[in-house]
Amino acid sequence: MEAASTVRARLLASAEQLGIGSDLAGLIELYDGEDCAAVQARMAQLVTERLTTFQSGIVELIEQAAQLQSSTPGDQPGPREEVARVQGRIVEVGGEVGHDAMREARNVSA
């Protein structure tokens, strides 16, 4: 069985990777209380909050891209670069949510 300090270090590293390091003190407090279920529940809550934030950002970017696309006439040069930038950001944010956060959430709950 792993030493408590090793498990604690892994918990902190996982929280940082998930981008939920803002509540490290709360997670450590739960961990030190030896309530693994509470730690898992709190981490799941924090990951859900982070996903909600990312999803809201994605919706805003999609709306912005749609607005830009609808205002771009035919083949005239214009804000296409801006549309491409927004679409690139959507893909980037979606990748962060889809790959990192979900994979790590599964690893933490395992």
DSSP string for residues in 19-35: T-GGGHHHHHHHHHTT-
Q: Tell me the average pLDDT of the chain.
A: 76
**In contact, 18 and 47? CB cutoff 8 Å:** yes
pLDDT value for 109 = 47
Looking only at Cα atoms, what is the longest distance across the chain?
66
**What does the chain come to in residues?**
110
Name the domain count of the chain: 1
In this predicted structure, the answer to whether residue 80 has a pLDDT above a threshold of 80 is no
